[in-house]
């Protein structure tokens, strides 16, 4: 099963930074921005995280929760979050449950070699838990501004 536009996203429970757990249903009443990224401490992923960090107050003022998701471990996430002072939590999806739910695992070509990895993607869920926007094959530059504009619209 994968998520569908204008439908309620199935509840999920996942480990997040700070040795905590998050449930999607606990975020009802808030907008939720989920940004999937390939790997901690890589240039594009760091830049995207910094863009969300630098605009975090704007998201919060619009009652939006921001969560970054990758297949990295919680230990890796904690280091990544601390190193770049991210004010939002990072979700560890080592079992790829969320990656499959949001259909973000794709075949990629890395230096002439086929690999499975996360396609940089962002999803916006409204206060009632419905998927309202999705961005796939995200290019980092300008992306966070586009997401912020969408948060303002719903």
Say how many domains are in the chain: 1
| Structure confidence at residue 29 (pLDDT) | 97
Whether 152 shows a pLDDT value over 80: the answer reads: yes
- Asked if 91 and 69 count as a contact pair (C-beta separation under 8 A), the reply is yes
**Helix boundaries (H) for the chain:** 43-54, 56-61, 74-84, 97-101, 143-153
Is residue 3 domain-resident? no
The mean pLDDT value for 114-121 works out to 92
| Structure confidence at residue 109 (pLDDT) | 78
Q: Full-prediction pTM beyond 0.75?
A: yes
Is residue 47 domain-resident? yes
Residue 48 belongs to domain spanning: 13-153
Say whether 130 sits in a helix, a strand or coil.
Answer: strand
Q: Over pLDDT 70: what percentage of the chain?
A: 100
> Which of the four pLDDT bands, split at 50, 70 and 90, describes residue 47?
very high
Is residue 142 domain-resident? yes
Is residue 127 domain-resident? yes
Is residue 8 domain-resident? no
Whether 116 shows a pLDDT value over 80: the answer reads: yes
Between 40 and 107, the more confident residue is: 40
Greatest alpha-carbon span in the chain: 45
CATH code of the domain covering residue 26? 3.40.30.10
Catalytic residue positions, numbered: 45
Mean pLDDT, the chain, rounded, equals 96
């Amino acid at each position: 099963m994968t998520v569908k536009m204008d439908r309620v996203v199935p509840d999920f429970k996942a480990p997040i930074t700070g040795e905590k757990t998050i449930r999607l249903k606990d975020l009802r009443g808030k907008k939720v921005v989920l940004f999937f990224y390939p790997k901690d401490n890589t240039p594009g992923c760091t830049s995207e995280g910094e863009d969300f960090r630098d605009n975090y107050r704007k998201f919060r003022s619009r009652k939006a929760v921001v969560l970054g998701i990758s297949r990295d471990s919680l230990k890796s996430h904690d280091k990544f979050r601390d190193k770049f002072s991210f004010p939002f939590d990072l979700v560890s999806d080592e079992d790829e449950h969320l990656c499959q739910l949001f259909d973000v695992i794709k075949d990629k070509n890395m230096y002439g070699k086929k690999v499975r990895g996360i396609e940089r993607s962002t999803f916006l869920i409204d206060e009632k838990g419905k998927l309202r926007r999705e961005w796939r094959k995200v290019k980092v530059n300008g992306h966070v501004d586009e997401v912020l504009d969408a948060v303002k619209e719903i």
